[in-house]
Structure 1
């Protein structure tokens, strides 16, 4: 599998979690109940699968190669924007975690902060994934040399194999399945 195709597949997994986050927020609106375990599972998924595993390959391999090999505008505008959106996502996840803690500590008004940050994260990532899948990745496929694409593939394969040895992919795909099952049974 080509590295960019793998990144797109990982985006599909991330989008599944975004759907869950949205449904959990709707549940708060409808019932007032916060599913703390599910939200903490989402935070775990975002930090360890989406951010460390997926964004690590994007930022450290693909984007680095694009910035070094392609036109300066790609680095200064497109890649910088993608990095910035990753940082905004981290910001929303940190705020979500703080809001969950506040609600656990008895601050009922922080439920709105749970909803706001989870929805902002989901909206940001849905738009971000669309741009990467349809613009950034295609630009990379069309403009990086075959040698660079092959090198990116080799580097990503090493990361994938190391992660597989640690059970990362299985752990987080199983977590997605669990989260989806929970929200579909509620």
Structure 2
């Protein structure tokens, strides 16, 4: 299924960001000063690629179909599982952003801790979340939704992806990812 293959490939990119986040946090723990500009790039990628671009397709297309067509199980998996985790990820990113602002105003250890907390919280959550989607949610959708619905999901995801390509979303975000993975030793 095109849409699932695409979303799994996007997960691979998001997992690379997670490695960058973890490596950047470890540098702080090892005594280096945080490079706030790099953390801001991580936030940009998280918000624009992982959230708006990737979660946009999930929430607006695939998850909507699962909620509408798979009864109580579909609703529980999506509304009480995946969407809650999407919101928690947004909270971690917001916490990271707030800590960066505080650190710039007053560069003390407490604000470094806030940066590490927001960033590492996001990283831990996303690793588990991606595992659930790849191993449980996507296979369940492919097995349980009708052929017609799956074809409709694929078509709407294609349109979503084409519109994002025209706006340069993937190119810009993946350029940021390439820069950060190079700087933080992620392959």
Please confirm whether the aligned pair reaches a TM-score higher than 0.5, indicating the same fold: yes
In the alignment, structure 1 residue 113 sits paired with structure 2 residue 114: yes
Deviations, residues 19-60 of structure 1 (Å, cap 9, x unaligned): 000000000011231011110001001111111011010011
Structure 1 gaps of 5+ residues are: none
Distance 1:110 1:98 in 2: 9
What RMSD in Å do the two structures reach over aligned CA positions?
1.2
Distance 2:70 2:146 in 1: 10
Distance 1:107 1:41 in 2: 19
**Structure 1 residue 71: deviation in Å?**
2.5
**Structure 1 residue 107: deviation in Å?**
4.0
Structure 2 match to 1:100: 100
Structure 2 match to 1:126: 127
In the alignment, structure 1 residue 79 sits paired with structure 2 residue 78: yes
Normalised TM-score (structure 2)? 0.95
Distance 1:179 1:86 in 2: 23
Distance 2:147 2:163 in 1: 24
**Structure 1 residue 5: deviation in Å?**
0.8
Structure 1 match to 2:55: 55
**Structure 1 residue 174: deviation in Å?**
1.2
Aligned length: 184
**Structure 1 residue 152: deviation in Å?**
0.4
Distance 1:74 1:100 in 2: 38
Structure 1 match to 2:2: 2
Structure 2 gaps of 5+ residues are: none
**Structure 1 residue 93: deviation in Å?**
0.3
Structure 2 match to 1:164: 165
SS in 2 for 1:34: coil
Distance 2:107 2:19 in 1: 26
Distance 2:33 2:9 in 1: 32
**Structure 1 residue 99: deviation in Å?**
0.3
Distance 1:181 1:87 in 2: 29
Query: After TM superposition, what 4+ stretches of structure 1 lie above 4 angstroms from structure 2?
Result: none
Distance 1:3 1:163 in 2: 14
SS in 1 for 2:159: helix
Distance 2:107 2:91 in 1: 21
